[in-house]
Structure 1
Amino acid sequence: MKVVVITTARGPEVLQLQQVEDPELKEDEVLIKVEVTALNRADTLQRKGAHHPPKGARPYPGLECSGTVQAVGKNVSRWRVGDQVCILSGGGYAEKVAVPAGQVLSVQLGVSLKDAASLPEVALEAKAKGATVLETPGIEEKFAVCDKLGADVCINYKTEDFVARVKEETGGKGVDVILDCIGAAYLQRNVDSLNFDAPHSATDRDASRKPENKAMVVNEVEKNVWPEVVAGKLKPIVYKSFPLSEAGEGHKLMESNEHIGKILLVP
């Protein structure tokens, strides 16, 4: 099969399409013929050598993709050959991927494989659940898009003191929940933006890569997010698609921060 390989830790040019052996299917895994792969920021970190797959995992990037089941391990009972599915796992920059059965989601009738690979944005899900949403885009061009998606307040984190704006918009109380996929230098300011005793959710890359934790995330997505997708209430935004052989171009676009929505790779 063809797969995108990180030949060394550097820029997007190190992503090369190569021919490798098909993945060996384990007893608790599902083999999927990949139709669409979605780019994530963690893919760029992995390319740079700042984010490593867990021990024993396949070394190829690609955290989410969709496709058709080609084979199942002998201990797998839920999935059948021909099922259309999407995954939250790893190794999606490939024509085929083998993943633990617990990290697979069913693509329901009426949902395309393209949409399934582009899991819904957090703002959409929060809005669908009735929350007041404050977004922090970094460029003005993204404000109109966030507004169209249902954001109640947009704050440019590069030009504004978002802690002060959050306090202003909430009458000095702060927000009830923050989802932070960056952390680091923003951690203290995020905490300062919170209501008293409110939760702060920062992505823990090491914890989120454990198979049991990924299975838990997939289960929660299936219960709480998928019904909204099937009902048409949540629709992912696709910005641009590239052939798998042009994964480097996709990474360049992602790192430019000019895109609004998901960037896809198509084998």
Structure 2
Amino acid sequence: MRAITMSRSGGPEVLQWARVPDARPERGEVLLRVAATAVNRADLLQRAGHYPPPEGASPILGLECSGTIVELGEGVQGWRVGDDVCALLSGGGYAEFVAVPEAQLMRVPKGVDLYSAASLPEAACTVWSNLGMRARMHRGQTLLIHGGSSGIGTHAIQVARTMNVRVAVTAGSAEKLALCRELGARYVINYKEDDFVAEMAYYTKEFSHPGANIILDIMGAKYLDRNIDALGMDGQIVIIGLQGGRRAEVDLAKLLAKRATVTATNLRGRPVMGESSKEEIIRETMRCVWPMIEAGLVRPVIHDELPITEAAKAHEMLDSGNVAGKLLLRVS
């Protein structure tokens, strides 16, 4: 089979479409013929040598895909050869075939084509595991999303809006903010021009509990202190990215005064099965989010689709900061 390979870490130029050993399903796995995969920021970090795959995972890039089951490993139940699925991966999506634990398979939602389905697993599972399962987001709350036009952000806006949550977002251009508003964001903040702490204070000043109830943060260290300032009482900061650095000082007195919580999670390193596992997150995501998608309340937001042989170009596009939504790579 063929896949995107890397002989070394580096820039997009290190990505090459080449032959690799065939993927084979082990016990409890299925083999997918990949239709499409999606480009995530984690792929850029891994390519640059900053985010190695978990032990035992494929070294090939790609944390999600869609495709068709072509072979069942021993012990697989509930799936058949010929089923169209999408899947959450620990790696291996930038390839013609990938072996996937059956617990990480997701049916393609009704109304979504097979290629677009490749954009769903990582965003949907990240959003629901953090906002739905961990933060217990519910009707009437205020959610601030940093990076509202990203793949995660565009999905989170729609899920929160469907749950009657007030959504505020930060983004870096008028075009991106317009997209966020179209998707359901009530408050839009250009982080290049405005202070999101002051803007959140203004937007929520008339509420009984001013400030954000939940902040979904991709920046990490750079925003931590200001995120605390933007929180309301009993608020939660959920950190899912470190684009603004990994180390920061925290004024614990401010956390105490707001009875605030700071939590950080990732998806890739979780166990396949058991407590706090990918299986648990996938089950809950399909139970809670898939009906929203099938009802037309949440849709994939696709910035562009490229052939897998142009993976380097896709990485350049995502790294440029000009992408809104997801970038897809068509494989077959």
What TM-score do you get using the length of structure 1 for normalisation?
0.95
Contact 2:174-2:190 within 8 A present in 1 as well = yes
Cα distance, 1:187 vs. partner? 2.1
Cα separation, 1, equivalents of 2:287 and 2:216? 19
> Would you say 1:138 and 2:202 are equivalent positions?
no
How far, CA to CA, are the matches of 2:328 and 2:107 in structure 1?
19
Moved over 6 A (4+): none
Is this contact kept in 1: 2:116–2:300, CA < 8 A?
A: yes
Cross-structure match for 2:83: 83
SS of corresponding position for 2:93: coil
Which of 73-82 and 208-217 deviates more?
Answer: 208-217
For residue 228 of structure 1, what is the aligned residue in structure 2?
292
1:179 is aligned to 2:244: no
1:96-150 residue CA offsets vs partner (Å, 9 max, x unmatched): 1111111110113432112211226111111111111001011222111111111
Corresponding residue number in structure 1 for 2:140: none
Q: Which moved more, 1:195-204 or 1:75-84?
A: 195-204
Q: How far 1:182 sits from its partner (Å)?
A: 3.1
SS where residue 115 of structure 2 aligns? helix
Q: Does 1:197 align with 2:257?
A: no
258, 262, 265: which one pairs with 2:326?
A: 262
Contact kept? 2:172, 2:190, Cα under 8 Å: yes
Gaps of 5+ in 1: none
Unaligned runs of 5+ in 2: 125-154, 241-263
Distance 1:259 1:225 in 2: 24
What's the offset of the Cα at 1:31?
1.0
SS at match of 2:87: strand
Distance 1:151 1:207, change over 3 A: closer
Counterpart mapping for 1:1-267 below 5 A:
1-89=1-89, 90-119=91-120, 121-171=155-205, 173-203=210-240, 204=264, 208-210=268-270, 211-212=272-273, 213-267=277-331
Structure 1 residue 191: deviation in Å? 2.4
Q: TM-score, normalised by structure 2?
A: 0.77
Structure 1 CA distance, aligned partners of 2:176 and 2:63? 24
Q: How many residues align?
A: 267
User: 1:76-114 CA deviation, whole Å, 9 max, x = no partner?
Assistant: 112111111101112111111111111110113432112
Amino acid at match of 1:117: A
**Percent of aligned pairs with the same amino acid:** 43
**2-side partners of 1:216 and 1:158: how far apart?**
38
Residue aligned with 2:116, SS: helix
Corresponding letter in the other structure for 2:197: V
Residue aligned with 2:34, SS: strand
User: CA contact under 8 A between 2:239 and 2:265: conserved in structure 1?
Assistant: no
Distance (Å, rounded) in 2 between the aligned partners of 1:40 and 1:195: 31
Deviates more, 1:185-194 or 1:48-57: 185-194
CA RMSD of aligned residues (A): 1.6
Structure 1: distance between partners of 2:5 and 2:268: 23
User: Structure 2 vs 1, CA of residues 189 and 196 (structure 1 numbering), >3 Å: closer, same or farther?
Assistant: same
CA contact (8 A) 2:39 2:327 kept: yes
Q: Check conservation: 1:115, 1:235, Cα contact below 8 A.
A: no
